[in-house]
Amino acid sequence: MNLKVENNILFVQTNLDKFNVSELKEQFLRLKKSRELQGVSVIDLEAVQEIDSAGVALLDSFQELLESEAKLLLMRGASASVRSLIETFSTTKLEFVEVPKPTGLWETVGESALNFYQMMVTALTLASEIFYYSLVGIFSRKTARKGSLIQQAFILGSQALPIVALLSFIIGFILSLQSGMQLKNFGVGVFLADLLSITMVREMGPLITSIIVAGRSGSAIASEIATMEVTEELDALRMMALHPIKFIVVPKFHAITIVMPILVMFSILVSQIGGAIIAVGVLDTSFENFVARSINILSIKDIIISFSKSIWFAWVIVIVGAFYGFQVKGGAEGVGKATTSAVVTSIFAVIVFDAIFSLLYL
């Protein structure tokens, strides 16, 4: 059989010339009589190497006979020469549909690398603009909204205090419980204060607080900007000669730079309270001794590292959220995708940068 029907597609598996027209016509009529052509809307010509005017006339007859079965008959897979002859000799308008060719491994890798490069260039350009306008905004407040800094500090900072306090207390409590029981076995439970203080100040405090803020405030930044992009509010700002980055992102950048170290300090204090409960209640350590050891073990370098991490992580969260917000496409679905991508990327970036900080300042 030179004609085959699969998945509502009629495959022509031989050349369409004057030598095959009669046989193909008979096969076609047999298929139609057996109702195998019911629902066929596409004719695949990938196997056709040669065609002449008789073959084109046969395709025209196929279309006429299938009009009752399919409102629109499409051709696919024809080579350039075959397609050219069909368009020249056909008396009816045959619609062609392009069949996408499967991409190879190296094409996929190359396309992914190119997309990643373009994304990084866009992100770095956005970051440079945010840093520039943030620096300029410190000295020039002409286009800044009145009270925007306080408003953003309240939204990004104070409203995040309850969740930060809860999770920090639980982490400090659990960390102290697990490590304290091991230290007690060796009779050195007094060192729990040292362990918890160093761990929370240098690592867990900035990391946990940044992850919480990325999930809570980073998503809010991305969704706000994405919604403004979808509803064309950003275009309206541009029409009024207001730069979106300067008007929207810079207040958030300034606010989170201020509030993030405060949140980290608050997280460390609350986690120490959770640790103190274990130290006093389980390890029989006095509260005064726990506080004294927690303070004495720390150095100025530890405090600087903690605050440096918190500020850097805050910048990463704002930049990532703004990047995905400005890159949104589509309607409500695009806003949801941008928000999800911003949260995932910012948390991943925070963890990666934390690892880099740990290697640099070990």
Domain 3-97, what fold? Transcription Regulator spoIIAA (3.30.750)
CA 40 to chain centre: 40
pLDDT at 239: 85
Burial annotation 40-69 (CB, 10 A radius, 16+ → b, else e) = bebbbbeebeebbeebbbbbbebbeebeee
CA nearest neighbour of 55 among 107, 101, 14, 10? 14
Q: What is the pLDDT along the chain (362 residues), one digit of tens a residue?
A: 678 888 778 888 888 888 888 888 888 888 777 777 777 778 888 888 888 888 888 888 887 777 666 555 677 778 888 888 888 878 776 666 665 666 678 888 888 899 999 999 999 999 999 999 888 888 776 666 777 888 888 888 888 888 999 999 999 999 999 888 888 888 888 888 888 999 999 888 999 999 999 988 888 899 999 998 888 888 888 888 788 888 889 989 999 999 999 999 999 999 999 999 998 888 888 889 999 998 999 889 989 999 999 999 999 999 999 999 998 887 778 888 899 999 999 999 999 999 998 888 75
Please count the other Cβ atoms lying within 10 Å of the Cβ belonging to residue 204.
20
Q: What is the full DSSP assignment across 100-144?
A: PPPP-HHHHHHHHHHHHHHHHHHHHHHHHHHHHHHHHHHH--SSS
pLDDT at 19: 83
Q: What is the full DSSP assignment across 193-239?
A: HHHHHHHIIIIIHHHHHHHHHIIIIIHHHHHHHHHHHHTTHHHHHHH
pLDDT at 351: 94
Total number of residues shown for the chain = 362
- pTM equals 0.71
Written as six digits, the tokens of 21 are 């027209």
User: What type of residue is 18?
Assistant: K
| Angle of CA points 295, 296, 298, to nearest 5° | 75
> For the CA atoms of 242, 216, 231, 134, what is the dihedral angle to 10 degrees?
10
**Which part of the chain is CATH 3.30.750.24?**
3-97
CA 112 to chain centre: 14
